[in-house]
Amino acid sequence: MAVREEMFDTIKAVFKKHGGVTIDTPVFELKEILSGKYGEDSKLIYDLEDQGGEKCSLRYDLTVPFSRFLAMNGVQYQNIKRYHIGKVYRRDQPAMTKGRMREFYQCDFDIAGAYEPMVPDAEIVKIGVEVLTALDVGEFMIKVNHRKLLDGMFAVCGVPEDKIRPISSAVDKMDKLPWLEVRKEMVDEKGLDPLVADQIGEYIRHHGGEELVEKLATDGRLMANASAKEGLEAMRQFFKYARIFKIAPKVSFDLSLARGLDYYTGIIYEAILVESEENQRLMAQGMPQQASSTEDNQVRLGSIAAGGRYDELVGMFAGSGRKGKASNNIPCVGISVGVERVFSILMRKRQYEEIKANHTQVYVISVRDGLLEERMAIAAELWDNDIKAEYMFKAKPRLQAQFNACDKDLIPLSVIIGKDELEKGVVKIKDMRNKNAEDSGGVEVPRAHMIQELRQRLAL
């Protein structure tokens, strides 16, 4: 929990830097609110028993509840940068070593409102880069694609409209499965024409940077499709802003990125760890090594953040607004950090380090005589001066036991008293991190100067 709290503080600091305000939503929603929003993954929603006329479900993510909140309060919150850290629930098969659980935290940042095209989208990706850099997860890359380009590509290849979402869900598995298995799912399970599947396979092999936009722009067949053309123009604008934000080197334009959720309407993105010596070492300790790309030889080591634009989701709940008007629709774009996977990476990085679980700065120690009340008085004085302090609750604790408590909880300083110190009106302040014999007893300080000395040593 100490590492997790530190991680949350780091993420919040980035979110606040970009003007985010936080909200909270209920852990459960009406079942109808969540139904039909997650494609094939809807089977993972936890449904609750009918408790007297209302069928509810545990929230699957933080995005749909946020959209419902906007639909109900759209007049007040036409424009909002919101972040939310909270637990979500999925009826999945747990895999602890992969950071996949049935109950886990998500950290979301969303920008709601109508703005210049791709401006908030670029800032969201910038936030993702800043968060993952600040968390020091190792080498990462953010894959981006556009839903309209993807839909246009499917249409050009001959995918029937009613199969676009199921086929999109299959393509989304490209980072976990080899192409032949994805093709088999499209053809054998979802009834797609094999020739159509092969055309899709040609397109989704493309990935690169800004140059891929210009390459695809020369594909006359693709550009004849209005949706694909609109999506590609949006990607051209995105890369322009990515250069301004200096995040272009961290971005990979990848046509195999599909994102299976039904509510995405524009840009989509997914952050992955990529090959490096450190990441390989961490993965060898239990994280899953996923399918590698034959073109750039990057080893994809799992999604650690993802998101996209969802311009129509709030409108689905328009009837929940105060006047029930479709005008309640509010365009949105957001990102969700996969904190459980990031957490498992950070824990592996720090497994050989000492982790300080508490914030205690000073331990009050007595020599020989117990001096319980005197220790309590000093602790109270420290607390009153906003210094985090503890002492042992025993009447006559052993000296070594008190030293051990400091070592165990990584407490940096101690205030040591005995009968001699009380009579002289002094205390001894000892740096518990210093194991030199010369400093074994600490430095004598007048009791009246104790707080000042501690503040200087703690740099308060």
Question: Residues within the annotated binding site?
Answer: 61-63, 90, 106, 110, 259, 263-264
Place of tokens 């599947």: 197
Buried residues in 167-194 as b, exposed as e (16+ CB within 10 A): bbbbbbbbbeeebeebbebbbeeeebee
End-to-end C-alpha distance for the chain, whole angstroms: 25
Q: What is the DSSP string of 245-289?
A: TT-GGGEEEETT-----TT--SEEEEEEE---HHHHHHHHTTPPP
- Taking the C-alpha atoms of residue 211 and residue 208, their distance in angstroms, rounded to an integer, is 7
Give residues with Cβ within 8 angstroms of 20, minimum separation 6.
Answer: 81, 82, 83, 109
Residue numbering of the annotated binding site for L-histidine: 61-63, 90, 106, 110, 259, 263-264
- Taking the C-alpha atoms of residue 243 and residue 453, their distance in angstroms, rounded to an integer, is 50
Candidates 418, 387, 147; CA nearest to 257 is 147
Burial of 395 (0-12, 13-18, 19+ CB in 10 A): exposed
Which stretch of DSSP H or E encloses residue 146? Answer: strand 140-146
Q: What count of Cα atoms within 13 Å lies in the side-chain half-sphere of residue 436?
A: 7
Separation in Å, CA 69 to CA 23, 26, 244, 328: 10, 10, 33, 11
What residue ranges in 159-218 does DSSP mark as E strands? 207-208
Indicate the SS3 state at residue 211: helix
> In this structure, which amino acid lies at residue 331?
P
Q: What is the DSSP string of 148-167?
A: HHHHHHHHHHT--GGGHHHH
- Taking the C-alpha atoms of residue 259 and residue 257, their distance in angstroms, rounded to an integer, is 6
CB 428 within 8 A of CB 445: yes
Q: What count of Cα atoms within 13 Å lies in the side-chain half-sphere of residue 405?
A: 20
Give residues with Cβ within 8 angstroms of 323, minimum separation 6.
Answer: none
CB 131 within 8 A of CB 346: no
Which stretch of DSSP H or E encloses residue 311? Answer: none
